[in-house]
Structure 1
């Protein structure tokens, strides 16, 4: 009996060794990409002594974990920073919705655009998706700035001011003065609440900066998952009609369509029905078609 069990034990030991080596390789890959910000596919394959096809599979795992974004010939680090605290949204139930909204929001950006990104967690998901794009980006968010500073294709402008520790954004008179001298094609905002009266946030000083962000832009696009609708917060940012587009997820109640439509706001719905899904519709959905969106 023992002679039959021995080959099986050897197979199990070999399988366990293979798993351990895969885990170790992926950890080394993760550490290298995090340290360098960007790594080429061939560089990783050579460093780890495996084929590029194996590296691609490893990178798929890293990307699924929200720690990297693959691009042609390599990968960018988009995970948490060792030096700047970023959002914990990837660990809550709302993360798939924010991922889907960020993916859809990217489709409204053209190469060469000058855009402004605020410090919200949903806007951070958008930032993760534009790291390889040729853009000029203005932001008051330290995590967004740190993330995009690894990109060779992005011209990054950081808004100065007082840093709000809890959210790692710059606010205050200095930030508002700088925003008053800036012009961008599109501003992307996160909000804490949306009602028929407009958009709200809980930080009064941040709201003043967000008002300046809206004034600086040709178009204002709000990114907010459906749980923000029907909620009011401490300070009003603007009215519904002051925003050009709202990008949300397909969990939005249809009662909000007439409110947005009557205010001239375009509504775009990201498909985030399943917890693991980040698939979105590939184009904007005008508010007149929102009820028929999948």
Structure 2
């Protein structure tokens, strides 16, 4: 940061804001103390998988608003599946005190709900994968069926929900078979991100909950594919 500040003749705050903007746009990667060039895959237009702790701090307010709207889709007595990821973590926090049955494979969310929640909690069995922060078994069937499966996305486009991490793809596919409806929680940045693998095609998605940065073109693309789009706003608590 100091070197960029001296070379560009701007304040440290300006450098940090520009680093955040470039990082969120996927043009380079934010690292401790500065910024780093992307690897070959990222330069070719394919997003890299951010560590959970890094992704958690991006677009936080949009994620909270999306989670708040998604929580209104859950009724008392429902059984829901909440996937790993930072936006889904915010949803789990919103649902912690609700009279529902909640299944999650998210290590951070399971830890939070065990300390703060009163909902009926079922945690996925299997091996703990610290990155991407989920618990998953390659052989054990999911012992749960839900009215809704809530999941995030690294990227979202005409192909569907995209993820770089193969384990996330596998877990999304497995859990998608265990719910009546699939609801994607993704801020509008995700519509400009292309990841390596398609986890679910658009035809499997019932609803997208996103923020008001969604472009008209992307909204039309989603609606033409039969996806219901719900826009979160700051008025939702």
What is the TM-score with the length of structure 2 in the denominator?
A: 0.74
Distance 1:90 1:158 in 2: 21
Deviation at 1:90, TM superposition (A): 6.3
2:127 to 162, 166, 174: 162
Whether contact under 8 Å (1:246, 1:267) holds in the other structure is yes
Q: What 5-or-longer segments of structure 2 have no aligned partner?
A: 1-50
Whether contact under 8 Å (1:160, 1:178) holds in the other structure is no
Whether contact under 8 Å (1:117, 1:137) holds in the other structure is yes
**Aligned residue pair count:** 187
Q: What 5-or-longer segments of structure 1 have no aligned partner?
A: 1-84, 272-277, 283-294
Matched, 1:254 2:219: no
**Residue in 2 aligned with 1:130?**
95
Rg larger for: 1
**Residue in 2 aligned with 1:187?**
149
Matched, 1:178 2:134: no
Matched, 1:204 2:166: yes
Distance 2:83 2:209 in 1: 15
Bigger relative CO (Cα 8 Å, ≥ 6 apart): 2
**Residue in 2 aligned with 1:228?**
190
What is the TM-score with the length of structure 1 in the denominator?
A: 0.60
Query: 3-state SS of the aligned residue for 2:141?
Result: helix
Whether contact under 8 Å (2:101, 2:120) holds in the other structure is yes
Distance 1:198 1:230 in 2: 12
Distance 2:126 2:153 in 1: 21
Structure 1 residues 162-211: Cα deviation after superposition (integer angstroms, max 9, x where no partner):
2221232112414xx332x4211110001100111111011112211101
The structure carrying a bigger helix percent of its residues is: 1
C-alpha RMSD over aligned residues: 1.9
